[in-house]
Structure 1
Amino acid sequence: MKRFIVIVLDSFGIGYMEDAALVRKQDVGANTLKHILREVPNLKLKNLEKMGIMNALGKDYKEMKKSKAATFGKSALMHDGADTFLGHQEIMGTRPQKPLMEPFSKSIEKVKSALEKEGYNVEYKIKDNLKLLFVNGCVTVGDNIEADLGQVYNITAALDNIDYSEVLKIGKIVRKSVKVSRVITFGGRRTSPSNILAAMEAKEGKYLGINAPESGVYNCDYHCVHLGYGIDENVQVPTILGKAGIQVSLFGKVADIVSNEYGKSVGCVDTEEVMKLTLEELNKMEEGFICTNVQETDLAGHAQDAEKYAEKLKIADKYIGLIIDKMTKEDRLIVMADHGNDPTIGHSHHTREYVPLLIYGENLKVGFIGSRKTLSDVGATVSDFFHVKSPENGQSFLELI
């Protein structure tokens, strides 16, 4: 049995990157882990502590101490900004390209015409002198107001009124019409078009979108697909492994945003559920790659709620311990993040931070593997582990561990 497990604690940063002063001044001072520990001083994450989370942070803090037996490192973000989609593409081995940044208003007429050409009923919805599109009376098209503004457009749908397959068709029409890095196509049941429209929110006088948590789309039967610009799945780890006949299983948000044509992808949001799925898959899988995204940490960061963030970390930490207990001597585990989302920084967006690389397995070399230049080093290490060709980007650190 030979398995490689990567668990991405979405937004779990360990300190702002030096270039933030030049490219994201609002993130200077961010340190997601440190500030959660400050706000929740009795927080104890025994398995992450064992794996070296405080080593990666660089110091002890109250209940949490450095480990003398940890194999750990940290990584910078190569992609611009601090983005979940781009972060996961980078983890899987894509060399990040600079995305187009512009408000949806720049493309709204082109998108409206493209949708109407395909037979959709499209009208404007207006707030604060800004417009978004309302399609077939139940789907909105507008700016993503939670990611870096101008980088992502959202398709938000009430799935009691429209089938998700039709929503995805709308998303693909929008994707062909615009050149921003990502179009997110999502929706849920037990909400309504009126609830979605009531969650319209304007930002900076240029951006108009739907506040997704307030819209109710996460309430029931949530569906989501992220449509990226210029992403080649053939240079990424899941496709490389899949073509080589090696099993690949993706759980959580990573299943929505990374192509996995040859493997299993199961999207879900709840932390307990996604970690249970990971543990169950480990019990069934004889050889292969598992990657799991814990999304609710990121949602807590967006909500600027350190207490809720800590609660989700405790659930993840419990299951990380159970996963460690099920590992064989050949297995390897990495716990990491894709960016930061400091709930105390004063804004609700992702933060450009270094992320931890916590590595576990039998007979590993103890100590610091260095500060990596790109998240793609993880993907390159996974490929090296399975003796398949390397992805487009990244350098393996397998020999260092």
Structure 2
Amino acid sequence: MSRRVIILILDSLGAGYMEDAKDYHPQDIGANTFRHIIDTVPSLHIPTLEKLGINKVIHHATLQTCETPLASYGCLNLMHHGADSFEGHNEIMGNKPKKTYLAPFIDNMEEVKAALEEAGYKVKVPDENLPYLLVNDLVIVADNIETDYGQIYNVSAPLDYIPFEEVLKIGQVVRGHVKVNRVIALGGENVTPTHLQASVERREDGLVGVNSPKSNVYKQGYQVRHLGFGITPDYQLPTIAKKAGLEVSLVGKMQDVIFCEEARKFPGVDTEKVMKDIISEMDHVQHGVIAATVQETDLAGHAQDAKRYANRIELVDYYLPSILEKMTDEDLLIMSADHGNDPTIGHNQHTREKTYLLAYQKNVTSVNLGVRETLSDIAATGADFLGLNKTENGTSFLPLIQRK
């Protein structure tokens, strides 16, 4: 019997701030990404999400509430600290979050410099007043200035001058000598070393790093690999499925942040491309996992652009009927998010929010799945549905769902 689990993550589409925000993230109190987008754009048109039962979670007056929705519904709390896409996605796939620490790159710069030099690289600090590492006169190691303070270091490169495999090796040396949440190795084509260095900025809070959009690394030939702290792919749904002989496809940002050897990978930021790639893979994957992330919602949140955010949600909704039509009775669709990014909250960083949960199977009665402890319940349920070994973290909600 062929079975498929389709996981669709709308990056940062949170459903209300978590209770612990008052203790650790007071700036996020009051955040509710989904509701506040609808408040700003009350004309939001998402008829398929309404039929699936999204308003059983959001409870917004302008949305239609289906009393007998197609999908089971609920919310998921974040188990990882803060609100991070990489940790969120790895938690979604069954990883138990590990405790990292926060530190600006300057706190680790000398140790990283020494490690890179020991590995044979030429390393210098071009400007003591704007401290970052320049490796082999090409690659910049510095803070990620597009996310929360002290969580991520970037290894940025002009890929016309150095192959990405070498950039990744540099990133792995950095990863081996720091305990922050993430090291990101990234680069783009048609970017000169001079322009890349000219794109280094100091943020208001003191972080120093490449302004990635300004550097143009995203525009052509973009490549990226996220190197996490304490991540164990062997106990995550994609790798468990692959080792069991099942097919695995990772689409959009999902393939950036989840490591699964030999998975089919479909990079892409454009929402329409991501949705079309999911639909296309449903014609190829007979038994296994299709996992995808729509990233443009998160980018709109960072830009504090609620209208753009609403437009991306509508585009996802436009393609959902095609996914539902292609599903068989032996398929399971799970939709959720990885954290929040409320464009109306007053800052442009991720917000610590629980996420909505929709789980759809044909001919299955909708049930209230409640508020669950971790995003990992998604992977635990997927593994249960496919008859696989358990993931490292999470509890399956499959026993709550029964066929009509």
TM-score calculated relative to the size of structure 1: 0.95
The within-5 A match list for 1:158-173 is 158-173=158-173
Q: Which amino acid aligns with 2:298?
A: D
> How far apart, in 2, do the equivalents of 1:191 and 1:65 lie?
48
Q: Which amino acid aligns with 1:383?
A: A
Contact 1:16–1:27 (8 Å) recurs in 2 = yes
Stretch deviating more after TM superposition (382-391 or 266-275): 266-275
> How far apart, in 2, do the equivalents of 1:249 and 1:220 lie?
23
Give the equivalent residue in structure 2 for 1:290. Answer: 290
Contact 2:123–2:135 (8 Å) recurs in 1 = yes
Give the equivalent residue in structure 1 for 2:120. Answer: 119
Q: Does residue 232 of structure 1 match 2:228?
A: no
Shift of 1:135: 2.1
Partner of 1:131, secondary structure, is coil
Q: Deviations over 1:312-359 (max 9, x none)?
A: 212222222211111111111011000001111111111000101011
> How far apart, in 2, do the equivalents of 1:374 and 1:266 lie?
27
> How far apart, in 2, do the equivalents of 1:69 and 1:190 lie?
53
Instruction: Give the number of aligned pairs.
Output: 398
Shift of 1:130: 4.0
Give the equivalent residue in structure 1 for 2:111. Answer: 110
Q: Does residue 74 of structure 1 match 2:78?
A: no
Indicate how the Cα distance of structure 1 residues 305 and 362 shifts in structure 2: closer, same or farther if over 3 A, else same: same
Give the equivalent residue in structure 1 for 2:200. Answer: 200
Contact 1:365–1:400 (8 Å) recurs in 2 = no
> How far apart, in 1, do the equivalents of 2:46 and 2:173 lie?
45
Contact 1:182–1:226 (8 Å) recurs in 2 = yes
Shift of 1:166: 1.3
> How far apart, in 1, do the equivalents of 2:60 and 2:363 lie?
25
Shift of 1:205: 4.2
Partner of 2:380, secondary structure, is helix
Q: Which amino acid aligns with 1:195?
A: H
Shift of 1:383: 0.7
Give the equivalent residue in structure 2 for 1:133. Answer: 133
The alignment yields a C-alpha RMSD, in angstroms, of 1.5
Indicate how the Cα distance of structure 1 residues 54 and 9 shifts in structure 2: closer, same or farther if over 3 A, else same: same
Shift of 1:61: 3.2
> How far apart, in 2, do the equivalents of 1:43 and 1:356 lie?
17
Stretch deviating more after TM superposition (376-385 or 68-77): 68-77
Give the equivalent residue in structure 1 for 2:20. Answer: 19
Partner of 2:322, secondary structure, is helix
% same residue:
48
The within-5 A match list for 1:209-358 is 209-358=209-358
Give the equivalent residue in structure 2 for 1:92. Answer: 93
Contact 1:250–1:266 (8 Å) recurs in 2 = yes
Q: Deviations over 1:244-280 (max 9, x none)?
A: 1111111111112112114222322111112111110
Contact 2:367–2:400 (8 Å) recurs in 1 = no
Q: Which amino acid aligns with 1:44?
A: H
Contact 1:37–1:61 (8 Å) recurs in 2 = no
Q: Which amino acid aligns with 2:329?
A: K
TM-score calculated relative to the size of structure 2: 0.95
Shift of 1:366: 1.6
Q: Deviations over 1:200-226 (max 9, x none)?
A: 232354421222222211111111100
Q: Does residue 394 of structure 1 match 2:394?
A: yes
Give the equivalent residue in structure 2 for 1:45. Answer: 46
> How far apart, in 2, do the equivalents of 1:142 and 1:51 lie?
43
